Structure 1
Amino acid sequence: MTAIVRKILIRGVNWIGDAVLTTPAIKAVRRVFPDAHISLLVKPLVAEIFKGNPHINEIILYDDRFNSIMGRFKLARMLKARGFSTAILLQNAFDAAFITWLAGIPERIGYRRDWRRLLLTRSVPVEQEVLDQHQVHYYLNLLAKSLNISAEDTEPRIYLSQAETNDAKALLSKELGLTSGRPVIGINPGAAYGSAKRWMPERFAELAKKIVDELDGRVVLF
């Protein structure tokens, strides 16, 4: 990477669970480039996940305006005008590499997959060893192999304001009758996409029972 990185574009992933798992990678980028302007390009579905994230300067929405072929060219022109020096593609799709290539971003980093190798300036091969690890390390491996960035913190994190925390506590205590002193664990039993993400209902039921029996916890389904 160039000695001085002034503007970094990170292309985020498209699904909520995956988006949460990219937060350690984003934090690692900020740690190595504390003075860079970091922009995150994501779909509106996941944008709220990153609201309040201190490691991001701005969120750019990849919304419906850019879904067509002409829309992609429009997005590329917009990104080009912003003068990014580096693009880090956490998303695997060809589309991510194509748009940043169209935008003329000098350094384009991503995994070597989906027929996009020639569009990247640093393409990282996908090794089975990485695929066998937790998804958090899939994103961190990209940084390690391309930029020699290591992560000091691998825990996914959502940054909430104090007001949001207070509202959640009020909802749990007043609306649901849940008070402090016992762990409260939320379960969202399902997924919008991907059979690998969809547990059988009886597995969720078994997990909820273990939380109650072994942790003396309270379970909230949402």
Structure 2
Amino acid sequence: MSNPQEILVRGPNWTGDWIMATPGFRALRAGYPDARITLQVRSGLESLAAGAPWFDDVIPVASYGQGTRALVAEALALRARRFDLGVCLPDSFSAALLMRLAGVARVVGYRRGWRRLLLHEAVALPVGAGRRLMVARELHVLGLVEAAGCARRGTELELHVTSEEEAELGRTLEKNGIAPDASYAVLAPGASYGSSKCWPPASFAAVGDALAEAGAHVLVVGTSGEAERVGEVVDGMAREAVGLAGALSLGALKPLLRGARLLVCNDAGARHIGVAFGVPCVMLIGSTALEKTALNLNRVTVLSADVDCRPCYQRECPIDHRCMTRIPAELVAAQALPALAEGAARDWRGDQWIVSEGGELSRGVAV
């Protein structure tokens, strides 16, 4: 099918994965400029697409987590749309099944297990990716988009902000006594994946104090479900900080991070929002591997501990969380503070550091 008119894109289920898919979205729109492209995404992530030029329609995956009966009902409802092409970004069986039951004429996805029988075009996985698909997510998505007939348009991440999102941010900052032109740094101590990804709140608090002492307003962000962790960071600081757990929508988080002087975070969604806007970022990585997110690091400093149990990909650490607790706050603060210097917004360049058991730094990422 050389010129599809109706395209359905099943988007990734996690904030970070969605943002790392934006080079693929850009390429798909450029490849099919006259097609009507519908994005189907897990409820709660729709605002990531707000203001973007790639989609004509954004709809939720109504059956997500609701079982087989809900999936079939949703698929039958989608049949009326008569999609010519479906790009199935999640590698799950259910995502491919939904597209086939929805009558999509040509479904493109990666060949994994029995789901290959549901795909019209089953794309081979990258050579050497392994069971955990250790390949940069940007390239993972671009491989499918290329199979769908579209050339790459770079691998840079891209997000957009609407006036409504800016207005929401303005109201929230005003409510919390932050001037519109304030210089602020953001701490993001949570991770929806699980606590194994999270650097200790006391360590975030120590870095927050160092940033506040250097003259920055410190804002601590998180979802409503991360309120306890955000509160521990704010309460653990000797200097003043503003806790914003649950105070901002995902859409308003975009302009907040776009305006930050610095972001200190775990390997989670906030990191990718910051990267999309070129914000200097210091990121702590523990239970996961950098290989899946190894692109677009020119403005990211990565710190990891040299421990033999990582990456484990467990959501909760079953032992002592050494991959995170062995990264000292003073070393993180030393990497973060230069981002507050005059001209840093222009000149900041990221780096990668391994922390030894004795607390010494060497360049690289522990594996």
TMscore range, shorter length:
0.7 to 0.9
In the superposition, the TM-score normalised over structure 1's length comes to 0.82
1:147, CA displacement in angstroms?
A: 2.7
Q: Which residue of 2 aligns with 1:214?
A: 338
Distance in 2 separating the partners of 1:65 and 1:181: 40
Over 3 Å counting, the alpha-carbon distance change for 1:203 and 1:59 in structure 2 is farther
Over 3 Å counting, the alpha-carbon distance change for 1:170 and 1:45 in structure 2 is closer
Distance in 2 separating the partners of 1:31 and 1:117: 27
1:93, CA displacement in angstroms?
A: 0.5
Counterpart contact for 1:189–1:204, Cα < 8 Å = no
Q: Which residue of 2 aligns with 1:86?
A: 85
Deviations 1:36-72 (A, max 9, x none): 0000111112122112222111111112588232211
Please state if 1:75 is matched with 2:74.
yes
Where does the alignment leave 5 or more consecutive residues of structure 2 unmatched?
198-266, 268-284, 287-323, 342-367
Distance in 2 separating the partners of 1:5 and 1:168: 39
1:16, CA displacement in angstroms?
A: 1.2
1:177, CA displacement in angstroms?
A: 4.2
Counterpart contact for 1:66–1:74, Cα < 8 Å = no
Listed as ranges, the matches of 1:53-68 within 5 Å are: 53-63=52-62, 67-68=66-67
Deviations 1:11-36 (A, max 9, x none): 01111111111111111100010010
Q: Which residue of 2 aligns with 1:164?
A: 165
Counterpart contact for 1:16–1:45, Cα < 8 Å = no
Counterpart contact for 1:24–1:136, Cα < 8 Å = yes
Higher relative contact order by CA 8 Å / sep ≥ 6: 1 or 2? 1
Over 3 Å counting, the alpha-carbon distance change for 1:187 and 1:4 in structure 2 is same
* Structure ranking higher in helix proportion: 1
Letter in 2 for 1:154: T
Q: Which residue of 1 aligns with 2:154?
A: 153
Q: Which residue of 2 aligns with 1:188?
A: 188
Compute the RMSD of aligned alpha carbons: 2.9
Over 3 Å counting, the alpha-carbon distance change for 1:134 and 1:210 in structure 2 is farther
Deviations 1:131-189 (A, max 9, x none): 44421111112222x1342222322222111342355367558736477586x553423
Distance in 2 separating the partners of 1:190 and 1:114: 33
Instruction: Pick the aligned partner of 2:145 from 132, 140, 143.
Output: 143
Number of equivalent positions: 214
Deviations 1:104-143 (A, max 9, x none): 2110000001421111011111124564442111111222
1:116 counterpart SS class: helix
Letter in 2 for 1:86: L
Where does the alignment leave 5 or more consecutive residues of structure 1 unmatched?
218-222
Counterpart contact for 2:31–2:149, Cα < 8 Å = no
Letter in 2 for 1:193: Y
Counterpart contact for 2:8–2:38, Cα < 8 Å = yes
1:118 counterpart SS class: helix
Distance in 2 separating the partners of 1:64 and 1:86: 20
Distance in 1 separating the partners of 2:21 and 2:155: 10
Q: Which residue of 1 aligns with 2:107?
A: 108
In the superposition, the TM-score normalised over structure 2's length comes to 0.52
Listed as ranges, the matches of 1:18-37 within 5 Å are: 18-37=17-36
Identical positions, percent: 29
Over 3 Å counting, the alpha-carbon distance change for 1:188 and 1:118 in structure 2 is same
